[in-house]
Amino acid sequence: MSSRLETNRRRFLKYLAASPVFAGAANAYAVGGGLSPTDASPFSFEEGDLRIWDEELRNTAIKSPAEALDLFDLELAARRAQAPAHWGFMATGTDSNATLKANRADFQKVGLVPRRMKGPIAVDTALKTTLFGEQYDSPIFTCPAGPPTMFDKNGNEALSKATYATNNMQMLSIFGLENAAKATGGRIPWAQWYSQPDNEVNFKAFKKAEDVGAKVLVLTIDIIGLRKVETFERLRRSDGRKCIECHDTPLGGNPGTSAILAMKHDYDWDYIRRVKDNTKMKVVLKGIMAPEDGALAVKHGVDGVFVSNHGGRSEDFGVSTISMLPEVVKAVNGKATVFLDGGIRRGVDVCKALAMGANAVGIGRPWFWGLGSFGEAGVRRVYELLRTETMFGLHQAGAATVKDLSSISIRRIKA
Ligand SMILES: Cc1cc2nc3c(=O)[nH]c(=O)nc-3n(C[C@H](O)[C@H](O)[C@H](O)COP(=O)(O)O)c2cc1C
| Nearest atom (ligand 1) to Cα of 144 | 17
**What is the Cα Rg of the chain in Å?**
21
The CA 382 to ligand 1 mean position distance, Å, reads 16
Q: Does residue 24 lie in a domain region?
A: yes
Q: Same structural domain for residues 33 and 172?
A: no
Q: Same structural domain for residues 155 and 8?
A: no
- Ligand 1 pocket test, pick from 310, 344, 367 with the greatest ligand atom count within 8 Å of Cβ, gives 310
Q: Does residue 75 lie in a domain region?
A: no
Residue with CA nearest ligand 1 atom 4: 145
Q: Does residue 306 lie in a domain region?
A: yes
Q: Same structural domain for residues 132 and 33?
A: no
The CA 256 to ligand 1 mean position distance, Å, reads 13
CATH of the domain at 396: 3.20.20.70
Quote the pLDDT of residue 21: 35
Q: Sign of dihedral through CA atoms 198, 199, 203, 204?
A: negative
Q: Whole-angstrom Cα distance, residue 307 to residue 378?
A: 27
Domain boundary, last residue among 60, 75, 91: 60
DSSP character string of 52-120: TT-HHHHHT--SSGGG-SSHHHHHHHHHHHS-HHHHHHHH--STT-HHHHHHHHGGGGEEE--------
Q: Same structural domain for residues 158 and 19?
A: no
Q: How many CB atoms lie within 10 A of CB 211?
A: 10
Q: Whole-angstrom Cα distance, residue 46 to residue 40?
A: 11
Q: Same structural domain for residues 56 and 110?
A: no
3-state secondary structure 209-270: HHHHCCCEEEEECCCCCCCCCHHHHHHHHCCCCCHHHCCCCCCCCCCCHHHHHHCCCCCCHH
Q: Sign of dihedral through CA atoms 211, 298, 318, 267?
A: positive
Q: Sign of dihedral through CA atoms 294, 299, 300, 303?
A: positive
Q: Whole-angstrom Cα distance, residue 192 to residue 339?
A: 14
Q: Same structural domain for residues 161 and 275?
A: yes
The CA 404 to ligand 1 mean position distance, Å, reads 29
Q: Whole-angstrom Cα distance, residue 29 to residue 35?
A: 16
Quote the pLDDT of residue 252: 65
Residue with CA nearest ligand 1 atom 7: 145
Q: Does residue 158 lie in a domain region?
A: yes
Residue with CA nearest ligand 1 atom 5: 145
- Which helix H or strand E contains 144, and what residues bound it? none
**Ligand 1 pocket member 365 (CB < 6 A):** yes
Tell me the residue range of the domain where 227 lies. Answer: 104-412
Q: Are strands 282-288 and 190-193 parallel, antiparallel or unpaired?
A: unpaired
Q: Same structural domain for residues 240 and 346?
A: yes
**Ligand 1 pocket member 191 (CB < 6 A):** no
Quote the pLDDT of residue 23: 30
Q: Same structural domain for residues 47 and 118?
A: no
Q: Same structural domain for residues 46 and 110?
A: no
Q: Does residue 78 lie in a domain region?
A: no
The CA 232 to ligand 1 mean position distance, Å, reads 14
Residues 6+ apart with CB under 8 A from 67: 73
Q: Does residue 88 lie in a domain region?
A: no
Quote the pLDDT of residue 203: 98
Tell me whether residue 233 is exposed, middle or buried, using C-beta atoms within 10 angstroms of its C-beta: 0 to 12, 13 to 18, 19 or more.
middle
Q: Whole-angstrom Cα distance, residue 55 to residue 70?
A: 19
Quote the pLDDT of residue 262: 87
Among 43, 73, 33, smallest CA distance to 57 is for: 73
Q: Same structural domain for residues 40 and 156?
A: no
Among 298, 318, 286, smallest CA distance to 141 is for: 286
| Nearest atom (ligand 1) to Cα of 218 | 11
Count of domains in the chain?
2
Q: Same structural domain for residues 302 and 385?
A: yes
Q: Same structural domain for residues 166 and 36?
A: no
| Nearest atom (ligand 1) to Cα of 90 | 1
Distance of CA 99 to CAs 86, 311, 367, 399, Å?
Answer: 21, 8, 20, 31
Q: Does residue 292 lie in a domain region?
A: yes
Domain boundary, last residue among 60, 78, 93: 60
> Under a CB-based contact definition with an 8 Å cutoff, are residues 400 and 121 in contact?
yes
Q: Are strands 337-341 and 140-142 parallel, antiparallel or unpaired?
A: unpaired
Quote the pLDDT of residue 11: 46
pLDDT in tens, the chain (415 residues): 344 444 444 444 443 333 333 332 222 222 222 233 333 333 345 555 545 545 665 666 799 999 999 999 999 899 889 999 999 999 999 999 999 999 999 999 999 999 999 999 999 999 999 999 999 999 999 999 999 999 999 999 999 999 999 999 999 999 999 999 999 999 999 999 999 999 999 999 999 999 999 999 999 999 988 889 999 998 898 888 888 888 877 766 677 788 888 899 999 999 999 999 999 999 999 999 999 999 999 999 999 999 999 999 999 999 999 999 999 999 999 999 999 999 999 999 999 999 999 999 999 999 999 999 999 999 999 999 999 999 999 999 999 999 999 999 999 997 6
Q: Does residue 256 lie in a domain region?
A: yes
Q: How many CB atoms lie within 10 A of CB 271?
A: 17
